[in-house]
């Protein structure tokens, strides 16, 4: 398996909550929903709930993993050298990624209808293209649109998110230069 699923420990959940609080104004500005504990974290942390979702997510992902990576490696010319660690949380936004190989996904009730294998695929694409995003200083919603467009080429049933800003320049560059991701990103105006 190229994906290793892990359940956040109580200490990792504390860290996730602290990170979310530090970025709360940015999340609000971008229109993201985020989850913080209602009561105390210790009262809310129920390992059996994490384990139940863990099994469901692992099952879903195992059905598409091989085909996903086959298509991804072909499109992005990117081979995975080390497993991607996917941490399951009940706090923060729906998904986050951290180079080189870490993803955090929210499995809380607020995100029950949001999180599935498609969203994990989206976060993985983020990992792969983030160096180019940084190199060309791509804005947040343009980056999200690029990731959505690439993910939709890999997963035919992928639903793209609505962006609160105009992204026609991304679509135009994508249509002209796909599958050359660097050219797509470099030519966004």
**DSSP collapsed to 3 states, 104-159:** EEECCHHHCCCCCHHHHHHHHHHHHHHHHHHHCCCCHHHHHHHHHHHHHHHCCCCC
pLDDT of residue 109: 79
What lies within 8 Å, CB to CB, of 114 at 6+ separation is 94, 106
> What pLDDT, on a 0 to 100 scale, did the predictor assign at position 60?
87
pLDDT score, position 114: 63
Contact by Cβ (8 Å): 103, 84:
yes
Taking the whole predicted model, whether its pTM rises above 0.85 is answered as: yes
Block means of pLDDT (10 residues each) for the chain, 189 residues, are: 90 97 96 92 92 87 91 82 91 94 89 75 94 96 96 88 85 95 93
Q: Tell me what pLDDT residue 113 has.
A: 63
Instruction: Write down the pLDDT at residue 56.
Output: 86
Phi, psi torsion values for 145, nearest 5 degrees? -65, -40
Question: What's residue 39's pLDDT?
Answer: 85
Q: What is the pLDDT of residue 34?
A: 94
Residue 131's pLDDT is 94
């Amino acid at each position: 398996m190229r994906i290793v699923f892990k359940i956040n420990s109580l200490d990792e959940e504390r860290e996730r909550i602290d990170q979310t609080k530090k970025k709360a104004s940015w999340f609000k500005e971008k229109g993201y929903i985020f989850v913080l504990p209602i009561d105390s974290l210790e009262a809310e942390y129920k390992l059996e709930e994490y384990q139940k979702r863990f099994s469901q997510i692992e099952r879903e992902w195992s059905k598409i993993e091989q085909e996903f990576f086959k298509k991804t490696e072909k499109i992005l010319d990117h081979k995975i050298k080390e497993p991607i660690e996917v941490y399951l949380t009940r706090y923060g936004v729906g998904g986050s990624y951290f180079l080189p190989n870490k993803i955090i996904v929210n499995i809380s009730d607020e995100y029950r209808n949001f999180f599935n294998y498609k969203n994990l695929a989206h976060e993985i694409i983020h990992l792969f293209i983030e160096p180019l995003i940084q190199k060309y200083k791509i804005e947040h919603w343009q980056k999200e649109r690029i990731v959505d467009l690439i993910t939709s080429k890999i997963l035919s049933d992928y639903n793209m998110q609505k962006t609160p800003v105009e992204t026609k320049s991304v679509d135009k560059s994508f249509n002209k230069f796909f599958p050359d991701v660097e050219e797509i990103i470099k030519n966004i105006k």
